Each structure stands twice: as structure tokens, then as C-alpha cells.
Amino acid sequence: MKEVNEILSKLTLEEKVKLVVGVGMPGFFGNPPSKVHGAAGETHPIPRLGMPAAVLADGPAGLRINPTRENDEKTYHATAFPVETMLASTWNKELLEKVGQAVGEEVREYGVDILLAPAMNIHRNPLCGRNFEYYSEDPVLSGEMAAAFVKGVQSQGVGACVKHFVANEQETNRMQVDTIVSERALREIYLKAFEIAIKKAKPWTVMSAYNKLNGKYCSQNAWLLKKVLREDWGFEGFVMSDWYAGDNPVEQIKAGNDLIMPGKTYQVNFQRKDEIEEIMQALKEGKLSEDELNECVRNILNVLLKTPSFRKYSYSNKPDLDAHAKIAYEAGAEGVVLLKNNDVLPFDKTTPFALFGTGQIETIKGGTGSGDTHPRYIVSILDGIKEAGLKVDEQLMKRYEDYIAKMRETEQYKPRAGLWGTIEKPKLPENFLSEDEIKVIAERNDVGIIVISRISGEGYDRKPIKGDFYLSDDEFELIQKVSSQFHKLEKKVLVILNIGSPIEIASWRDMVDGILLIWQAGQETGRIVADTLVGKINPSGKLPTTFPKDYKDIPSWNFPGEPVDNPQKVVYEEDIYVGYRYYDTFNVEPAYEFGFGLSYTKFEYKDLNVSLDGDLVKISYVVTNVGKYPGKEISQVYVKAPKGKINKPFQELKAFHKTRLLNPGESETINLEIPLRELASFVKDEWFVEKGEYEIRIGASSRDIRLRKIFSIEKERTFKP
């Protein structure tokens, strides 16, 4: 603090203004590249005082920097971890912390100071193009996953940035759209996730979101950035804007958006002036006081002084990529979700099987945009299977290799440059094998496996159409043909879903014997798939988000806002009834519920004890592996509130636990605590706990409740926000 005040006293007014505005997007629009090529931004250095620039880089599935540099032989690859939704499917806090440590080491060793992750918006609608970058539809799961990840990152002496604060649940018109949402839904769902992460892990920075919140840009919203974030939650780091967000830099500073990123917004928005000039002008005219500016500078300095750049850390450019590859594998291994299994998995290493679907070769490791990564390699599903020595049908494999190579040369399906410098590959037709060919393939194999893939990314939302939320006709026909030929011979069929967020499953699942959801598992995808097929990995992931039966069933029916062709506002009419809170309260049956996931083994739950000890609800129970394979079980604690003065969802997740690896016959006793405040609803400016009988429900999923017990709260309680 003393050092901060000392620096502050030495800064000229112009230097202070520079500190609250980034240097412009490095490497674009004639701006010099960052010392770390591909970093998303930098703060202004103050060489006179020996203050270097701090370097900021994405993102949620691993550090996003350029893997190569001009006139430089060396490479700068970073590990591609599974996407956040898959990390959340692990429900494993220790593992998330470990992933955070690995990413943090790469951040530090490549000379970056602040990682622009984790992203933690809520899965309000399955079609949000960036859902893969977000954890869950539930704030407790999101907040806990983010807290663990931030702890891991920051244990490496670099900063994390929780983003996008707040209510940024769509890509359509994301820079202007006005999110209209009640304070109750904000506090209980959308802010709650951030509140947990900020209180538990103290991230160095927060990124304010692009959108408006109830009429005011998040980056210009003093209620959000000062009242909620600092006064209510005690946040001590700095807030940065999302890239080119908002429309008024002076208002941003006044509202407590400390750093305007990336700076030089006029380079992309010709209507705008230089932020530095605008802020200087406002100071001159008395529209902004130096005290207001100082507050932002102080917040920024508090963090900058901790950065490796400021401490002149000499980074190696050699993070331990081999060790991190193992962590990426481990994280993916625990995030695989087995949705259906009628005796198809696991199978023996010697079982001959046929692999269908172009995604076996063009495997999707993650989504596009700032959540992308540039790893050393990506193990495709086919490569993973070959490496593991499994008995995949070689003729069919060759058929797919030739088909893809040939199609990608045609004008229609040629890979092309997309947004963000990614190479987009138009979706290939999947139905090129005749019924007769498949019949012969079925004769010589014991299992048929079909890969279905999807990709999405920053800048656009998905669509409720065939080929996106629904299977395309050719995908459907492929599943139909393979199933009918294999089933005629009494052989099994498995579908592998290589997707970033839910698709429609209910209309075709009865055709197949098994469904394995591998999400977008990063660079190790193929190895994870191969090991799961033969039981080296026993799936232990559970859904962090509901798979609805049909798009018409979802509560956020008005996504992405109105007017439909160019949404100016989006009203969160479903209010607190997001995800399972809606499906459970209004009796809408999903295809696969929140918290669902099968295992190769079975678990039994027993001995539930619940007691109230002061302001803590104490819970204990025992989980036993009663099946044949070693495995881990995720148990979930839902609370059903009494019917009282306020409407409540049918039940809400309040705690969860993943066991250690339990051998057949082994048990683990689980002890969990829920602070009373976490049972509250947000009513008229405070948290309110109704008196009455509460039911503690211990579930293997939100709809598979194994143990229940009632406890009473005798008196109403209130807590400050």
C-alpha cells in the first residue's frame, strides 16, 4: 500500500490517465506486437518510474498465444485443456485447482501476467455460442469450479480474471444488447457464481461484460462495479472492460471500471475518440475529478505491483508441457459423461469395431474465438484409438481418410479463414456409405461407433435447426443405417458426442445402445476416448447442464431477445427458474437431467445425518461402490425449501462431493456444511431465510434422489447482501 501511494504521488496526470487505458490491441491496426505474441492486451508502461507493461492473455481452455513468431525458430505452444463445460462435468475442485496451476505456470513461463479466465456466465440457453467456455447452468457449481481454478492459477504468482461480469449469456448483438433481469435472479443466479469465486479465491481482476444490464452498460454501471462488487463482496483487485466495450470512457472510470481495454477503441469504432484524450478533457472540464481517477489508478497499481513483469521475473518460455499434457488427460478423463449404456461399454481390447463419422479424424478439441488454444498437437479420436492398439476396422478408417481428403479439396468444403483467424471447415455430409457397405462392415465387427461433432464460438450463437441443435438428416440416416445393420446381427451401437453444449438426443437415442458424451476434451481427446472404451477410464463425469428433450421445452424461450433480427434487449423472463430450477419446478421432463451421468460400476448411498449447528447445516452420509469396477461418484446435495412467503424453485443445489477412487466394496463417509445464508432468497435488498421445514436431498443426479431428511429452522433470518 505504501508503495502504491508512493508511485501514485509521483505520477503525472497524463501518466495516471494512461494507466487506466490499455495500449491498443497488440499486433493489430499498426500497434506493435506484445512481447508475448498473440497476447490480447497490455497496460501502459511508465518507463520513467521503472514500471513495465503488464501482459494480458486469454483464456478458459488454456493460454491463448501465438505458437510461432516471425524470424524465430522457437515455438510457444500452450496446452489445450478440456473446455470449461467439461471441466465442470468433473465436479472435482482439487482437479480444477490442478488445471489452474498448470495453466498458471504456462502464463508465468511465457511472460504473461494476467490470464483472461475463467469465464463464468450461466448456461441460460443451450444455444449460446460460448457456452463451452462457461461451466454450468447452476451458480454453485460454476462458482466452486471457478474458485478452485482461480486459486490454482494465482498460486503461480500470476493473476486470473473472472469474466464476463455479468448477464452476458448470448453472442447475438453482445456489444449492445440490454439484459433486463430482476435483482433477485441476478443475486441468486447470475451474480451468485461470481460472488462465490470472488469471496473464495480473490481473483486479481474482473472483466466487465459487453452488454447493458437493466439499461446501463456493465462497464459503466456503478451499482454493479462499486456497490455489488466492492461494497457488498469486498473485491480488492481491478476491473477491466471487455475488449472495446461500452460507449463512454469517462463514465467507465466514474463507474469503477478501472482499466479500459484494449485501448484505442477508435481503431475499430470510427465514431469514437481516443479514450486518453476524452478522459483528459473531462478532467480539464471538471466532469471527472482527479480523486475519481486516483481510485482506479490505485486499484490497478495494487495488482500491477504483484505481477511477474513488475517483479522482473525472468521467464523461461519453457513451461512443462509434458506434465501439463498429463493433467489435460486427467481432467478430460474425469469429465466424460456416460449418458446411456445397454451393455455396450466397456469392451475388450480385442473387440473388433467399426468407427463411423468424420469427427473421428476432424475431432473438435474446443470452440473458436478467444477461448481457442494452439497446442503442440491434437490427438484425434482415431489417432487415440490407433495409439492404444484397439481393433478398429482399418478398411473403414481408410475410407474415411480418403473421403475427407477428397471432400476438403472441393470448392464447397474447402477449409476457409473464419473469424479470429480460425480455419473453418464446412460440415461434411455424413451419409456417404451405402446400406450394403455398412452391412458388410457389420458382419466383420462386433460394435459400431458413430462420432457426432459440433463446433461453435465467440461472435455467434448456435441455431435451433438441423445440423446444429438437431442432427442433420445425413447424421440421422447414418445412425439409422448403422443401427439397423448392426442390430440385425445382434451387435451393439454406440454414439460418441464430441460437442460443446447440448444437442437434441431424445428423438434418436432409442436407436442406439450407448451414448458417450466426451464434450470437447482438448489436445488429449483421442487418448481419453480410447481408454474409456476399454474401461481404463471409468466415466465419472456428470452433467453440469440440462439436456432438454426439445428446444421448445427450454425456459429462456425469448433468446436471443427482441426484435428477433437485431435484438436490442433480452428479458430474462424465466427469472430464477434457470435450468433444472425450471424443469423440476414446472414438471418438464428433460432428456438428461442436471447432475446425471452413469458409471461402469454402481454406488449405494446410506446413513444420512443432518444437524443445525449455529449458522451451519451439517450433513454426513456414506457412499459405497457396490459394483464391479473401481470408480468415483459425484453426490449432490439439493435443498427443498418450505412453502412460505416467497416462491422458491422445487429444489436447489447447495453442495456436492466427488469421492476418491473407490474399489468395489469400498465406502467413503462424506461430511459437508452449508451456511444458513446459502439457503436464503434475495428479497428487498437483503437475503431472507424463511422459517419452516427444509428437506435435504442427497442425489446421484437432480432426479435420482437417494437419501432425504427434514430439518427445521425455527425463526426467520436475514443477512446483508
> Which one of residues 98, 108, 163, 549 is an interface residue with ligand BGC (CB under 6 A)?
163
Helix ranges (DSSP H) in 524-642: 525-533, 580-585
Helix ranges (DSSP H) in 202-274: 222, 249-255
- For 360, the 3-state DSSP assignment is helix
Q: Which is nearer to ligand BGC, 58 or 393 (CB)?
A: 58
Helix (H) or strand (E) holding 41: strand 41-42
CB of 205 vs ligand BGC, minimal distance in Å: 11
Q: Which is nearer to ligand BGC, 247 or 295 (CB)?
A: 247
Encode burial over 149-162: b for 16+ CB neighbours within 10 A, e otherwise: bbbbbbebbbbbbb
CB of 506 vs ligand BGC, minimal distance in Å: 33
Q: Which is nearer to ligand BGC, 162 or 255 (CB)?
A: 162
CB of 168 vs ligand BGC, minimal distance in Å: 8
CB of 116 vs ligand BGC, minimal distance in Å: 4
Helix ranges (DSSP H) in 44-177: 84-89, 93-109, 139-154
Contacts (CB under 6 A) with ligand BGC, residues 565-604: none
Q: Which is nearer to ligand BGC, 80 or 653 (CB)?
A: 80
CB of 61 vs ligand BGC, minimal distance in Å: 12
Q: Which is nearer to ligand BGC, 100 or 539 (CB)?
A: 100
Cα gap 330→521, rounded to integer Å: 10
CB of 128 vs ligand BGC, minimal distance in Å: 13
116 binds ligand BGC (CB under 6 A): yes
242 is catalytic: yes
Number of residues that bind ligand BGC (CB under 6 A): 7
Contacts (CB under 6 A) with ligand BGC, residues 24-43: 40
Cα gap 313→109, rounded to integer Å: 9
Chain position whose Cβ is nearest to ligand BGC:
40
Contacts (CB under 6 A) with ligand BGC, residues 291-310: none
Q: Which is nearer to ligand BGC, 116 or 259 (CB)?
A: 116
Burial group, residue 417, by CB count within 10 angstroms (0-12, 13-18, 19+) = exposed
Q: Which is nearer to ligand BGC, 240 or 554 (CB)?
A: 240
190 binds ligand BGC (CB under 6 A): no
Encode burial over 660-677: b for 16+ CB neighbours within 10 A, e otherwise: eebeeeebbebebebebe
| DSSP letter assigned to residue 522 | G
Give the dihedral sign, CA 330/334/337/343.
positive
CB of 582 vs ligand BGC, minimal distance in Å: 27
Cα gap 571→563, rounded to integer Å: 12
- Which residue matches cell numbers 525472468? 314
CB of 309 vs ligand BGC, minimal distance in Å: 18
Helix 473-488 and helix 435-444: axis angle, to 10°? 40
Contacts (CB under 6 A) with ligand BGC, residues 339-378: 370
Backbone angles phi, psi at 702, to 5 degrees: -70, -20
The answer for 20, left when phi > 0, alpha when psi is -120 to 50, beta otherwise, is alpha
Contacts (CB under 6 A) with ligand BGC, residues 623-652: none
Q: Which is nearer to ligand BGC, 370 or 498 (CB)?
A: 370
CB of 359 vs ligand BGC, minimal distance in Å: 26
CB of 370 vs ligand BGC, minimal distance in Å: 4
What are the strands of the beta sheet with 717-719, ordered from one edge? Answer: 681-683, 686-689, 717-719
Characterize the bridge pairing of strands 423-424 and 205-208.
Answer: unpaired
Q: What contacts 24+ positions apart, CB below 8 Å, involve 465-472?
A: 467/427, 468/503, 469/126, 469/127, 469/502, 469/503, 469/504, 469/551, 470/503, 470/504, 470/507, 471/503, 471/504, 471/507, 471/508, 472/427, 472/430
- Residues near 213 by Cβ (< 8 Å), separated by ≥ 6? 166, 167, 178, 179, 181, 186, 221, 224
Please answer whether residues 115 and 107 qualify as being in contact, where contact means their C-beta atoms are separated by less than 8 angstroms: yes
Using alpha carbons only, give the angle 225, 230, 231 rounded to the nearest 5 degrees: 115
How far from 308 is each of 50, 108, 153, 304, CA to CA, in Å? 14, 7, 13, 9
Q: Which is nearer to ligand BGC, 106 or 575 (CB)?
A: 106
Q: Which is nearer to ligand BGC, 41 or 357 (CB)?
A: 41
Contacts (CB under 6 A) with ligand BGC, residues 652-681: none
Catalytic residue among 58, 113, 178, 242: 242
Furthest-apart CA pair in the chain: how many Å? Answer: 83
Q: Which is nearer to ligand BGC, 242 or 446 (CB)?
A: 242
Helix (H) or strand (E) holding 619: strand 616-625
Binding track over 457-476 against ligand BGC, x by CB under 6 A: --------------------
Residue type, 166: V
242 binds ligand BGC (CB under 6 A): yes
Binding track over 525-554 against ligand BGC, x by CB under 6 A: ------------------------------
Cα gap 586→683, rounded to integer Å: 22
CB of 403 vs ligand BGC, minimal distance in Å: 36
| DSSP letter assigned to residue 552 | G
328 binds ligand BGC (CB under 6 A): no
> Which one of residues 24, 26, 58, 246 is an interface residue with ligand BGC (CB under 6 A)?
58
169 binds ligand BGC (CB under 6 A): no
* Residue ranges that bind ligand BGC, judged by CB under 6 A: 40, 58, 116, 163, 242-243, 370
Active site residues: 242
